[in-house]
Amino acid sequence: MDVTVLAEAPPVALTPDWRRLLPPLGIGLLLLGLLFNREVGSAIRTWDDSTAYNHCFLVIPIALYLYWDRRQDLAGIPARAFPPALLLGLPLAAIWLVSERLGIMEGRQLVAISFVEVLFLGVLGKRLWWALAGPLLYLYFLVPFGEFLTPKLQDVTTWFIRHGLDILGIPAYIDGYTIEIPQGAFFVAEACAGLRFLIASVAFGTLYSLLMYRSPMRRGVFMLVSIIVPIIANGFRGIGIVYLGYLLGSAQAAAADHIVYGWLFFSAVILVLIALGLPFRQDQLSTRSGSPVVDTGAPAVTVRGVFAVALGIVVVAALSPAVAAGLSMAAAVPITAPARIEVGSSCLVQPLAPLAGARRERVLCGTVPVDISWVVFSPRSTAGPVMAARRRMVAGALTEGLQEAWLASGQGGPSAWRIMKSSDPAYAIAAAIWIDGRPVRPGLMMRLRLALNSLAGSAYAPMVVTVTPVVDWETRNGLELKAAEDALSRFLLTRPELDQTVGALSAVR
């Protein structure tokens, strides 16, 4: 009997040769991190400070788990350096420069993550990048993006409460985001808008869809559901809190633990999403059965070529920061801030020591004194430092109970003064920004004007001015705090000439 011995085929590598890929990827990521260190630092501070983005600390571990879950899908896919990826960096560099001139940090952070994606594409190649698209694209959740949606979410929540109270037959007076019922008043603050629930739900929905589904259609539908459901659920949460206040006979008692109610409600919503998605789950193993497809004709990955692609992408990424640094050096013109702001001969003015780079003075025109603080910037300054100074100067009001509204002008015209009040701890402040000698409201047009001024210059220096009533916020009772808030509005309304005075002071001499 003849015995035929079949030679055993050599084992097939199930994963790419990461020993060759990790050095250029590691060095490229390190250099991009150093290049975009401000974007990284700003993102981490936001993760730590805002409860809406605390989950961002889990994004990188989740992305690594998603890679581990898909490691068998990488079997036989060759890593081929993709030099054309450098061309993708050119429009990204332009977008970064526009975002930097407009002072939009989220835009800069999105570009930074996009350069990370381009780096992986250039080093791994198209096929391997596409196989890892799920874990790689999940890295976009590192960007604390979406805060601009807060006013719209407040509108949606208020709309739900208005119509819900109508259906329940509860009498209510609604003015803006303030809801008054016979048992008390509620305010749909930024913390109640549901942004934190929405962002966390989208991050969870994306993870769930990547783990449970293989079809792009099913993934897209579930991600869409994870956006719609928390918005609707937060509206019902708002109705529930107001209705609970109606039943308890006290708005304050119902709103005391609204954050706890919110997280309990959000947990229930997540469970509902899981239950809705499970019946449509796709078997993960069915797509991984069989022998891996091996591309035996793939050329070997040369370390020198991959390093060249990685460093080329970093060089392209450095173009815009280099241009921005040159523009910033040209804008570094020393500006002398005015020594005082005139508010009328009938007021007593006391100069105060500068604080955190802002000049200050104390003004007494009535029964409640106010502190006026102001910061002056270079005529070629962008919106970034201007808005950063504004946030720093109003930091005392940036709490969970923040309430904001534009000052109602006594002459019927638009006012650029933003009144910001915090309930816990109690605090009130008014802030305004002057551009080109006129008070303006923050927004895209203001950022665009500053961006143009940063290139062409201006005869006026941007200024940020704040006015704060001087009271002991911790020991005053509710009536005294209300009197202080009224004194703040009255001070601004009775001095319409203040806008022209600050505008004249901002002229470059």
Quick one: pLDDT at residue 302?
A: 72
pLDDT tens for residues 286-343?
444 444 444 544 454 577 888 999 999 999 999 999 999 888 887 666 677 788 888 8
pTM: 0.84
Closest CA to 430 of 448, 441, 418: 418
pLDDT tens for residues 475-506?
767 777 788 888 888 888 888 888 888 888 88
- Residue 321 and residue 299: Cα distance in Å, rounded? 36
Surface-to-core class of residue 447, CB atoms within 10 Å of its CB (0-12 exposed, 13-18 middle, 19+ buried): buried
Q: Give the largest Cα separation in the chain, rounded.
A: 120
- Residue 504 and residue 497: Cα distance in Å, rounded? 11
Percent of the chain residues past pLDDT 90, beyond the cut:
33
pLDDT tens for residues 96-145?
999 999 999 999 999 999 999 999 999 999 999 998 999 999 999 999 98
* DSSP bridge partners of 374: 359, 465
- Residue 80 and residue 302: Cα distance in Å, rounded? 9
Quick one: pLDDT at residue 479?
A: 72
Percent of the chain residues past pLDDT 70, beyond the cut:
88
- Residue 204 and residue 401: Cα distance in Å, rounded? 27
Quick one: pLDDT at residue 261?
A: 57
Per DSSP, the residues of 262-325 read HHHHHHHHHHHHHHHHGGG---SGGGT-SPPP--TTPPPPPHHHHHHHHHHHHHHHHHHHHHHH
Residue numbers of the chain with a pLDDT score lower than 70: 1-16, 250-263, 283-301, 331-334, 410-414, 476, 509
Report helix, strand or coil for 136: helix
Token pair recorded at residue 174: 């609604």
